Amino acid sequence: MVLNYEDYLLTIWEYSESFGIATEMDISRRLKITLPTVSEYVGKLSAMGLVEKSGRSVKLTRSGKRVTIPVVKAHRIAEVFAMKFMEVEWEEVHKAVMDLEHLFSGTYGDNLYRNLGYPEKCPHGNPIGDINSGSRIAPVAVREGRYVVDRVTLEQIETLKKLSGISAYPGSVVFLRKEGLVTTLETENGSFVLSDIENQSIRLRRAGPNKI
Ligand SMILES: [Zn+2]
């Protein structure tokens, strides 16, 4: 896989949305690139004015965000396309389009977005049109109870597999159980204990009394 700056920007976006900040270690693990290579690349992005470094932490600058939003949108449109027309599995589709998404930006991307009927969200619930419209409620910050899965901000295949394993997709009603520091996500098809990452990156919305 040939990585270019778009993969870095997308990854920094995902971590920023999930945890408020990205670290070079996060990027290294997620993209399976050595830490020195990541550092060097982040240095280039910083010289371009797209990110701000403090220690090993990385933040998108205002112009970095401007450059990244079309990349994030192209990725999400590519996911909708790959799932709808290529029948790629829900939990595989994020990874499957990492190579492909560069085709989906610019004019072709605009055409495809229109021909797909302007989908509002990617298959994992992340918004395409108004990029900041997704729910911000993280399991770690709420009480035990019934919720609806809104989106997954860090689309890691392990997390997506656990969710699809209990049939918890965006729009699914789930029960969040809290016992001490252990948080469990339950549906009628099963349950799993949330990792620290999942406790922040699976986003929920409140289940209305008659909205099932
Ligand atoms: Zn997605």
Q: In terms of DSSP bridges, do strands 57-60 and 22-23 run parallel, antiparallel, or are they unpaired?
A: antiparallel
**For position 175, which CATH number holds?**
2.30.30.90
Same-domain pairing of 23 and 56:
yes
> Mean pLDDT per 10-residue run, the chain (212 residues)?
75 94 94 93 94 93 94 92 90 86 79 92 95 93 96 95 98 96 96 97 85 45
Q: What is the pLDDT, as a whole number, of residue 209?
A: 65
Q: Which of 52, 81, 115 is the last residue of a domain?
A: 115
CA distance 92 to 39: 28
Q: What is the pLDDT, as a whole number, of residue 26?
A: 94
* pTM given for the model: 0.85
Please indicate, yes or no, if residue 66 is contained in any of the structural domains: no
Q: What is the pLDDT, as a whole number, of residue 175?
A: 97
Expressed in angstroms and rounded, the spacing between residue 122 Cα and the centre of ligand 1 is 5
Q: Number of structural domains, the chain?
A: 3
Helix (H, G, I), strand (E, B) or coil at 207: coil
- The residues, ordered by sequence, that sit 6+ positions from 37 with a Cβ below 8 Å of its Cβ are 28
Please indicate, yes or no, if residue 160 is contained in any of the structural domains: yes
Q: Which of 60, 88, 103 is the last residue of a domain?
A: 60
Same-domain pairing of 149 and 194:
yes
Sign of the C-alpha dihedral computed for residues 103, 105, 110 and 115 taken in this order: positive
Expressed in angstroms and rounded, the spacing between residue 92 Cα and the centre of ligand 1 is 10
Expressed in angstroms and rounded, the spacing between residue 95 Cα and the centre of ligand 1 is 9
Same-domain pairing of 53 and 86:
no
Same-domain pairing of 89 and 49:
no
Same-domain pairing of 144 and 183:
yes
Query: Domain residues for 37?
Result: 5-60
Expressed in angstroms and rounded, the spacing between residue 128 Cα and the centre of ligand 1 is 10
Expressed in angstroms and rounded, the spacing between residue 30 Cα and the centre of ligand 1 is 15
**For position 34, which CATH number holds?**
1.10.10.10
